[in-house]
Amino acid sequence: SYELTQPLSVSVALGQTARITCGGNNIGSKNVHWYQQKPGQAPVLVIYRDSNRPSGIPERFSGSNSGNTATLTISRAQAGDEADYYCQVWDSSGGVFGGGTKLTVL
C-alpha cells in the first residue's frame, strides 16, 4: 500500500516561513491535499490539488508538489497556525493520510 511520510514536528519563529513536507513514491503524479487540525477540533482543508486554497484560507498558505515530495508552506506564521497538519492522496487502495506534523510557532 502507498505510504506518506511527514516529519513528526516542525518549529517556526513567529512571522517566519514554515515548510512541512510530505514524502511518497512519485507523489508528484498524484493530487495532494492538506488539512489543519487544532486540538479538539475536526480537520480543516487548507490546500487541495497540490496548490489550491479553499475559500476562506489565507494566502499565507501555499502548496507545491514535485517528484517524491509535496510541501505545504505557511508564510508569516502566526500563533494561530499552531496545529497538526496532514497530507492526503488517493491511491489504488483508497484514501491515504500522512502521519501528521505538529507545527509549533515559537
- Positions touching other proteins (CB under 8 A) are 1, 31, 33, 35, 41-45, 48-49, 52, 54, 86, 88-90, 93-100
Nearer to other proteins, 38 or 76 (CB): 38
State in angstroms the smallest separation of the CB of 40 from other proteins: 9
Nearer to other proteins, 14 or 96 (CB): 96
State in angstroms the smallest separation of the CB of 4 from other proteins: 10
24, 3 contact by CB (below 8 A)? yes
Q: Which long-range contacts link 23-28 to residues 24+ away (Cβ below 8 Å)? A: 23/68, 23/69, 23/70, 24/68, 24/70, 24/89, 25/68, 26/67, 26/68, 27/65, 27/67, 27/68, 27/69, 27/70, 27/89, 28/65, 28/66, 28/67, 28/68, 28/69, 28/70
Nearer to other proteins, 23 or 48 (CB): 48
State in angstroms the smallest separation of the CB of 14 from other proteins: 26
Nearer to other proteins, 44 or 75 (CB): 44
